[in-house]
């Protein structure tokens, strides 16, 4: 298909597509949505303009491999009739990785240069990159540095990418989290227990916020708030006194200590943690506490486990209650893609093709008031946080209604 790119006519024949970062529902829907439009357009294009969509395996890692030696580990041909049903499935049929082409080590190893050299070896005329702000940011840099046609699609179950009111992957993770919470509730009610349920959410607490409210949690703890465990203890005691059970939902990015917290809260939480880790009963919490923090290639700290601290502190500072800690973990990323993520993914894939036709490159689709608009890949960033003046923020703790 002949289009204009930076004032020149180019012929898009072979389009590469990859999925980077953590998997989530909607990846496959974007692929199918784009492939539908390509297949439709090919029906009326001359033979020398017909297009093909080629999957690149394991995200950016595909372009760090040698096409002359590892082609089977790099490329997957995509045919619509073969993959058309995959849009209903979570995960990614192209596999993924957290490869950062622009990490210090990879820049020194000339990974960006090698990636573009491999793009040429594969004969790609255009690249479509599906991922969060890290993955899309790399696409923007690479496209600018090498004047190459790039597109993106914003995914993340955290729903924290600027430029769009919703990322695909979010709605499905909320649905699965709510199902998990409701399952825990029945056993909490049966045994008069408090369940502390940890859900994913690195810096933005949208998943915990929506799932906590929809799942009827008594208390929902977010990364955006100043966490005060003395207040949480009182809230849980109130819920159990009224109902003989309680549900606490905590985002994995919530924290007991932060430089923005009042000194008195940090000091109080330190006392609480020391009380917990000094008790042999909480040997597993102590072991976690002493582990060095790991980071991925983008510098993101490996999270998980705040729910264990919250559970132990509650148990240590209350009497007569039974507590259980549950971590939803990766289960809420997988399984089926729920309706909103199927539709949103298909819409994003459809929109990317429209951008191609219009010669609008270096963009990703963003949702605004139910319209899909092009957003600049060079301006993509994370950190779309839950504002404290948001209606749902004030609704998040059901126990305050009693």
User: Is 133 among the residues known to form the active site?
Assistant: no
Q: What does the angle CA 380 – CA 344 – CA 330 come to, to the nearest 5 degrees? A: 80
Mark out the alpha helices in 56-132 (DSSP H runs): 67-70, 80-83, 104-108, 111-121
Cα distance between residue 41 and residue 33, in whole Å:
13
Token pair 């029906």 in the structure block, residue: 43
Look at strands 52-56 and 2-5 and give their pairing: unpaired
| Catalytic choice (158, 160, 218, 341) | 158
Q: What are phi and psi of 175, to 5 degrees?
A: -60, -45
Largest CA distance in the chain: 76
Instruction: Give 369's DSSP letter.
Output: T
Cβ neighbours of 75 (radius 10 Å): 18
Look at strands 2-5 and 8-11 and give their pairing: antiparallel
Look at strands 52-56 and 75-77 and give their pairing: antiparallel
Six token digits for residue 108: 């020194």
Instruction: Give 84's DSSP letter.
Output: G
Pair 396, 209: CB distance under 8 Å: yes
Token pair 């997957």 in the structure block, residue: 76
Residues marked as catalytic:
158
């Amino acid at each position: 298909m002949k289009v204009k790119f930076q004032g020149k006519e180019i012929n898009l024949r072979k389009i590469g597509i990859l999925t980077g970062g953590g998997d989530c529902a909607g990846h496959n829907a974007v692929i199918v949505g784009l492939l539908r439009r390509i297949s439709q357009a090919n029906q009326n294009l001359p033979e020398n303009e017909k297009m093909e969509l080629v999957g690149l395996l394991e995200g950016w890692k595909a372009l760090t491999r040698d096409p002359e030696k590892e082609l089977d580990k790099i490329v997957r041909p995509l045919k619509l009739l073969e993959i058309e049903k995959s849009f209903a499935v979570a995960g990614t049929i192209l596999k993924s990785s957290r490869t950062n082409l622009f990490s210090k080590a990879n820049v020194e190893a000339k990974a960006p240069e090698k990636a573009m050299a491999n793009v040429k070896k594969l004969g790609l005329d255009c690249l479509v990159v599906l991922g969060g702000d890290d993955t899309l940011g790399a696409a923007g840099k690479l496209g600018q540095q090498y004047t190459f046609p790039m597109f993106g699609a914003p995914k993340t179950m955290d729903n924290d990418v600027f430029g769009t009111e919703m990322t695909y992957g979010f709605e499905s993770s909320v649905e699965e989290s709510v199902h998990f919470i409701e399952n825990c509730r029945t056993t909490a009610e049966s045994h008069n227990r408090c369940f502390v349920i940890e859900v994913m959410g690195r810096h933005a607490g949208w998943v915990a916020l929506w799932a906590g409210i929809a799942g009827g949690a008594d208390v929902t703890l977010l990364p955006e708030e100043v966490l005060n465990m003395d207040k949480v203890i009182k809230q849980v005691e109130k819920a159990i006194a009224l109902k003989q059970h309680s549900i606490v939902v905590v985002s994995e990015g919530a924290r007991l200590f932060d430089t923005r917290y009042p000194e008195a809260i940090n000091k109080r939480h330190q006392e609480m943690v020391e009380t917990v880790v000094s008790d042999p009963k909480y040997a597993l919490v102590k072991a976690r506490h002493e582990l060095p923090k790991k980071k991925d290639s983008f510098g993101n700290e490996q999270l998980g486990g705040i729910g264990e601290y919250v559970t132990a502190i509650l148990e240590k500072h209350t009497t007569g209650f039974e507590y259980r800690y549950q971590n939803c973990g990766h289960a809420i990323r997988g399984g089926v893609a729920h309706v909103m993520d199927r539709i949103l993914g298909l819409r994003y894939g459809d929109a990317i093709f429209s951008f191609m036709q219009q010669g609008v490159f270096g963009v990703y689709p963003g949702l605004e008031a139910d319209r899909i608009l092009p957003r600049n890949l060079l301006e993509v960033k994370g950190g779309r946080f839950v504002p404290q003046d948001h209606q749902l923020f004030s609704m998040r703790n059901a126990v305050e209604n009693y």
